């Protein structure tokens, strides 16, 4: 039987800490949440690889290092409200639940949403609620959010998501298609988003987040 606790520790020590992730709350959350539980049984042995690991179809979880650095950039406070866009099987939301006051885990794939609900319930993540719906539409019922994380690559940040971010809030996403992506931190100030590029990152493009095709004469 695989020693997942040891694999989790190795993930943190070899993939996360060496990339300047120093927030002890993030380290503790990554060590506590059993990442392997959020994969189908046949893929659990891959859960701690230094890679984007598919969960279903084209949907995958971020590399642990990318996810941890995005969490650190989001600087989530203990009482804050967070929207997790494209939560997939729910791993990211489970980790966010250790950091935030409350989390809305948004997923449009019905099978993944069910998996996320089951796993989060089994793990007792009482401050995380799963919402089903289009990822690009966000979850306006819970807005405004202090932070929004987008769990996959995007080419554009929809206006609907920026509208659900409170003034002074943060949004973190990977902008650009594989293999050229950039993790980016957005802040909403005076109703407008300002962007700060963070580090190179790549991930599968989330459905609905492709840039509209330009009209050519």
Render pLDDT for 25-77 as a digit per residue (tens, 0 to 9).
999 999 999 999 999 999 999 999 999 999 988 899 999 999 999 999 999 99
**Which stretches of 22-155 are DSSP H helices?**
24-32, 64-74, 91-99, 110-122
CATH top-level class of 4-200:
alpha beta
Lowest mean per-residue pLDDT among 99-103, 178-182, 193-197, 212-216: 212-216
CA distance 12 to 21: 9
Pick the residue with more confidence: 145 or 56? Answer: 145
Task: Report yes or no: 102 and 82 within 8 Å, Cβ to Cβ.
Answer: yes
Task: Give the start-to-end residue ranges of the domains of the chain.
Answer: 4-200
For the segment 11-30, the average pLDDT, to the nearest whole number, is 97
CA distance 144 to 190: 14
User: Whose CA is closest to 125, among 110, 146, 144, 104?
Assistant: 104
CA distance 21 to 117: 28
Phi, psi of 168 (to 5 degrees): 95, -5
Distances (CA, A) of 133 to 99, 127, 141: 24, 19, 12
pTM of the model: 0.94
């Amino acid at each position: 039987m695989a020693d997942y606790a040891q694999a989790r520790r190795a993930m943190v020590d070899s993939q996360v800490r060496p990339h300047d992730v120093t927030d002890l709350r993030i380290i503790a959350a990554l060590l506590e949440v059993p990442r392997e539980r959020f994969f189908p049984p046949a893929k659990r042995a891959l859960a701690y690889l230094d890679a984007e690991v598919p969960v279903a179809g084209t949907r995958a979880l971020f590399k642990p290092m990318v996810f941890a650095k995005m969490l650190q950039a989001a600087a989530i406070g203990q009482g804050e409200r967070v929207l997790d866009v494209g939560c997939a099987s729910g791993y990211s939301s489970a980790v966010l639940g250790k950091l935030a006051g409350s989390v809305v885990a948004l997923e449009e794939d019905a099978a993944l949403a069910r998996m996320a609900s089951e796993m989060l319930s089994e793990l007792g993540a009482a401050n995380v609620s799963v919402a089903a719906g289009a990822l690009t539409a966000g979850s306006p019922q819970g807005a405004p959010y202090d932070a929004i994380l987008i769990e996959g690559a995007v080419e554009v940040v929809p206006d609907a998501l920026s509208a659900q971010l409170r003034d002074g809030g943060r949004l973190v996403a990977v902008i650009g298609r594989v293999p050229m992506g950039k993790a980016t931190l957005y802040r909403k100030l005076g109703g407008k988003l300002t962007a700060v590029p963070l580090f190179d990152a790549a991930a599968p493009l989330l459905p609905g987040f492709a840039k509209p095709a330009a009209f050519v004469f």
